[in-house]
């Protein structure tokens, strides 16, 4: 137990999951996990939600009956008065305060939300993984100098982990200004230390395995050992974390939008932005906020369910 434990501990616990069940079952870790996941309700529901969401995000905007900024002034729309035209024939979700078709905006918003989630997760994953590989490789095969490098890198990630993630994102977003890119970078950067620590941890676990010793003994170059032996075997916790991160990313992006740091462009509505705009009218027209909110909640739930199911499927402690 050192300070800064919680997040770090959780990450380390996940990292240990690479200790595969090969010795026990003889089948590969992932095949075994997949078999277990097929019988898990959580995994199936999660996967179904994600599939539906991705489908809506890809196909939806093409099928949207109206443009996301097309306004309809004919009817009972009063700009900015919070008058909301409820569901009716051509406008399934009604019109918003500016007379725009909510359903079309919701469909386009699905794509933006997926984009924000995936890109920010990838920012965290790619940079974090690079840092993690460096740190993990240095620690396992780098000798004394390597261990020092590893210590320094891990200290820095510890510091980043010691900050509440939303506040870190806010401070980044505050510097970069209001835009979609800002949200993605801010949410992504927050994930970097998580992925770094995770991959390093699972590489350390793998680094002590017999096959690494064998590879060293037959004289394979260190770089090659890291890239072809240790790394592929260390990836499973990273995949679990990536799934869970998608949920966090979507929620945090919404929070940033609420704090006024989201994408201001009305042509690319994102659920978080839609939700924070609908906030003003909530007391009179709660449905306006409900559509994007339900979108966010269900999607985040889908990724969380799948991620948790994968974690459980990979955890040897729960096997039996």
CA neighbor of 259 nearest in space, from 163, 161, 187: 187
- Residue 101: phi and psi, rounded to 5, are -70, 115
Adjacent-strand bridge partners of 85: 95
How far apart CA 58 and CA 142 sit, in angstroms, is 45
Within a 10 A sphere around the Cβ of 59, how many other Cβ atoms? 13
DSSP state of 142: S
Looking only at residues 290 through 309 of this chain, which bind other proteins when binding is defined by CB under 8 A? 293, 296-297, 300-301, 304-305, 308
Of residues 1, 23, 145, 267, which one binds other proteins by CB under 8 A?
Answer: 1
* Residues 136-195 contacting other proteins, CB under 8 A: 155-156, 158-160, 162-168, 170-171, 174-175, 177
Closest by CA position to 142, among listed 222, 203, 219, 202 = 222
CB of 158: closest distance to other proteins in angstroms? 7
Q: Residue 174: which H helix or E strand, with range?
A: helix 165-176
Do residues 236 and 18 make contact, with C-beta atoms less than 8 angstroms apart? yes
Please identify, using beta-carbon distances, which residue of 115 and 156 lies nearer to other proteins: 156
Q: Which residues pair with 100 in a beta bridge?
A: 71
Report the SS3 class of residue 57. helix
Give CA–CA dist 79/73, Å, rounded.
9
Of the listed pieces 4-12, 58-66, 135-143, 204-212, which binds other proteins according to CB under 8 A? 4-12
Q: Does 2 bind other proteins (CB under 8 A)?
A: yes
One residue of 153, 226, 249, 289 binding other proteins per CB under 8 A = 289
Q: How far apart are CA 44 and CA 41, in angstroms?
A: 5
CB 166 to other proteins: min, Å: 4
Which positions from 70 to 99 touch other proteins by CB under 8 A, shown as an x/- string?
Answer: ------------------------------
Shortest gap between Cβ of 177 and other proteins (angstroms)?
Answer: 8
49 belongs to the binding site for other proteins (CB under 8 A):
no
Task: Give the CA radius of gyration of the chain.
Answer: 23
Q: Distance between CA 164 and CA 294 in Å, rounded?
A: 25
Q: Which stretch binds other proteins (CB under 8 A): 3-11, 120-128, 136-144, 179-187?
A: 3-11
**Residue reference for tokens 């676990």:** 205
The correct pick among 275, 306, 310, 314 for binding other proteins (CB under 8 A) is 275
Q: At what angle do helices 236-258 and 180-207 cross, to 10 degrees?
A: 160
Minimum distance, C-beta of residue 281 to other proteins, in the bound complex (Å) = 10
Binding-residue total with other proteins (CB under 8 A): 49
Give the per-residue contact string, 230-269, with other proteins (x = CB under 8 A; - = no): -----------------x---x--xx--xxxx--------
* Residue closer to other proteins, measured from CB, 159 or 213: 159
Alpha carbon distance 46, 307 (integer Å): 8
Closest approach, Cβ 247 to other proteins, in A, equals 7
Q: Which residues bind other proteins (CB under 8 A)?
A: 1-7, 9, 155-156, 158-160, 162-168, 170-171, 174-175, 177, 247, 251, 254-255, 258-261, 272, 275-276, 279, 282-283, 286, 289, 293, 296-297, 300-301, 304-305, 308
């Amino acid at each position: 137990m050192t300070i800064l434990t919680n997040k770090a501990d959780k990450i380390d616990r996940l990292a240990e999951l690479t200790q595969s069940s090969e010795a026990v079952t003889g089948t590969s870790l992932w095949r075994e996990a997949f078999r277990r996941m097929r019988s898990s309700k959580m995994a199936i529901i999660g996967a179904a939600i994600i599939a539906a969401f991705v489908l809506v995000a890809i196909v939806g905007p093409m099928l949207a009956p109206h443009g996301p900024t097309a306004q309809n002034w004919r009817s009972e729309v009063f700009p900015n008065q919070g008058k909301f035209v409820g569901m009716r024939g051509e406008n399934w979700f009604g019109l918003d305060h500016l007379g725009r078709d909510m359903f079309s905006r919701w469909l386009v918003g699905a794509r933006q939300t997926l984009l924000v989630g995936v890109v920010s997760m990838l920012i965290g994953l790619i940079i974090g993984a690079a840092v993690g590989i460096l740190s993990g490789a240095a620690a396992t095969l780098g000798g004394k100098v390597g261990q020092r490098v590893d210590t320094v890198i891990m200290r820095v990630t510890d510091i980043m982990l010691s900050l509440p993630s939303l506040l870190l994102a806010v401070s980044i977003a505050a510097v970069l200004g209001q835009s979609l890119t800002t949200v993605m970078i801010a949410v992504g950067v927050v994930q970097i230390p998580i992925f770094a620590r995770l991959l390093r941890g699972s590489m350390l676990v793998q680094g002590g395995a017999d096959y690494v010793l064998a590879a060293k003994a037959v004289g394979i170059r260190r770089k090659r050992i890291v890239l072809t032996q240790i790394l592929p075997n260390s990836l499973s916790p990273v995949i679990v974390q990536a799934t869970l991160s998608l949920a966090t990313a979507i929620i945090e992006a919404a929070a940033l939008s609420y704090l006024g740091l989201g994408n201001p462009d009305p042509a690319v509505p994102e659920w978080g932005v839609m939700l924070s705009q609908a906030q003003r009218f909530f007391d009179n027209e709660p449905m306006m906020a409900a559509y994007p909110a339900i979108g966010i909640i269900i999607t985040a739930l889908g990724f969380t369910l799948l991620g948790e199911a994968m974690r459980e499927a990979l955890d040897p402690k729960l096997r039996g």
